[in-house]
């Protein structure tokens, strides 16, 4: 078995109940060594509860959970040294300087060094790795929001964890700080071979960072795969829009490149404003959550994606099979 085949997280039939309310219902999944896995879901879906159970901070109601081969409910200090956690927020020590705090926290990990992993991370190397070298001697209260979030990650990885949990890591960050944070997460996965599990509401972030995406809704995992796999499996078709003779057309098809080629081959320069919109993670996510909650898809009049007929087969005229935008709205332009 290769390192990549090693199971780091093994969850089977996980349930969590608060009073008479079931927050998690039969959640099952696995995460392998070196994977970056993102857990998506609407508010109240149970994402943070799931992470807290995996981190050993909350006892589950039922089910089997193994994290690095150990039930987190029974994890000892040696097990905890192998796990890093970055919470949504935490009360930091504003009077400490960055290097001093990391050196202090690192001391607690020294006894858990192994032949394979030397703990803790050298403070100066760690500070450089998270991009805080210029702030090493600054007091924490003087850091910007983005710099504090980098420090959060540094605290989470000071013990060189094999597994890192990130709970909505970029909430509240500006676009520049968010991009820098994404680069940091990618380096941890690529250079340190860290297994990472994160939650987020940012679909772009999930698509950029994750090797695999799981969607949690109604207390269950309702989808699991790469962003492309989920888009192809759930949404399935691209949307092609174009204009001809002053009329707008829209068409859903699984062969958008061939469809566009056929349009130009038949109509040439009569085709204008051609646009191909690939199925996205957002399409997939909204479709799945609406299915789970029973919410009706918005119609074309509300600005959402309009319905369209199936893709044209070989030899079918793309001009006659398409649906005009005017026809979909009950009339012509």
- pLDDT score of 332: 40
What mean pLDDT is predicted for residues 189-216?
Answer: 89
Q: How distant is the alpha carbon of residue 214 from its chain centre? A: 8
For residue 163, what are its two tokens?
A: 């597994």
Instruction: List the beta strands (DSSP E) in the chain.
Output: 7-18, 21-32, 36-40, 62-67, 83-86, 163-167, 195-199, 212-217, 220-225, 238-244, 247-253, 272-277, 323-324
Which carries the bigger pLDDT value, residue 211 or residue 282?
211
pLDDT of 121 over the 90 cut: yes
Domains of the chain: 3-225 (3.40.50.300), 237-328 (no CATH)
How far apart (Å, rounded) are the C-alpha atoms in residues 333 and 318?
A: 20
What mean pLDDT is predicted for residues 318-323?
Answer: 50
Averaging pLDDT over each range in 136-145, 178-187, 252-261, 307-316, which range is the top one? 136-145
What mean pLDDT is predicted for residues 97-112?
Answer: 95
pTM of model > 0.85: no
- pLDDT score of 3: 60
pLDDT of 304 over the 50 cut: no
- pLDDT score of 320: 43
DSSP string, 59-118: --SEEEEEETTB-GGG--HHHHTTEEEE-S-----TTSBHHHHHHHHHGGGGGG--SS--
- Of the candidate ranges 39-43, 87-91, 155-159, the one whose mean pLDDT is the lowest: 87-91
Which carries the bigger pLDDT value, residue 332 or residue 238?
238
User: What sign does the dihedral 10-43-216-37 (CA atoms) show?
Assistant: negative
Which carries the bigger pLDDT value, residue 148 or residue 92?
148
Give per-residue pLDDT as tens, 29-88.
999 999 999 998 888 888 989 999 999 999 999 999 999 999 999 999 999 999 999 887
Confidence of residue 197 (pLDDT cuts 50, 70, 90): very high
**Hey, how many other C-beta atoms are within 10 angstroms of the C-beta on 193?**
12
List Cα–Cα distances, 27 to 59, 83, 92, 328, in angstroms.
15, 21, 33, 41
Give per-residue pLDDT as tens, 6-34.
899 999 999 999 999 999 999 999 999 99
- pLDDT score of 313: 39
- pLDDT score of 201: 83
Mean pLDDT over each residue of the chain, to the nearest integer: 83
Confidence of residue 238 (pLDDT cuts 50, 70, 90): confident
What mean pLDDT is predicted for residues 295-303?
Answer: 44
């Amino acid at each position: 078995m290769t390192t990549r085949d090693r199971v780091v997280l093994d969850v089977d039939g996980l349930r969590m109940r608060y009073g008479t309310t079931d927050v998690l219902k039969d959640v099952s999944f696995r995460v392998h060594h070196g994977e970056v896995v993102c857990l998506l879901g609407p508010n109240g879906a149970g994402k943070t509860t799931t992470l807290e159970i995996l981190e050993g901070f909350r006892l589950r109601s039922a089910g089997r959970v193994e994290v690095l081969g150990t039930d987190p409910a029974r994890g000892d200090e040696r097990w905890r040294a192998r796990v890093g956690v970055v919470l949504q927020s935490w009360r930091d020590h504003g009077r400490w300087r960055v290097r001093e705090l990391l050196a202090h926290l690192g001391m607690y990990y020294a006894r858990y060094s192994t032949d394979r992993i030397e703990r803790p991370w050298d403070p100066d190397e760690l500070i450089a790795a998270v991009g805080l070298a210029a702030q090493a001697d600054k007091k924490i209260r003087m850091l910007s929001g983005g710099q504090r979030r980098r420090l959060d990650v540094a605290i989470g990885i000071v013990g060189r964890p094999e597994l890192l949990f990130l709970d909505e890591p970029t909430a509240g960050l500006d676009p520049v700080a968010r991009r820098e944070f994404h680069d940091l997460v990618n380096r941890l996965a690529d250079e340190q071979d860290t297994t990472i599990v994160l939650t987020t509401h940012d679909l772009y972030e999930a698509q950029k960072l994750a090797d695999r995406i799981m969607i949690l809704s109604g207390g269950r995992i309702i989808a699991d795969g790469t962003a492309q796999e989920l888009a192809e499996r759930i949404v399935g078709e691209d949307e092609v829009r174009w204009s001809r003779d002053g009329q707008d057309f829209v068409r859903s098809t699984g062969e958008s490149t061939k469809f566009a080629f056929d349009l130009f081959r038949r109509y040439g320069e009569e085709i204008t404003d051609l646009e191909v919109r690939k199925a996205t993670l957002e399409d997939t996510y909204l479709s799945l959550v609406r299915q789970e909650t029973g919410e009706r898809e918005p119609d074309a009049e509300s600005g959402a994606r309009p319905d369209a007929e199936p893709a044209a087969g070989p030899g079918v005229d793309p001009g006659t099979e398409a649906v005009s935008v005017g026809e979909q709205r009950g009339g012509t332009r």
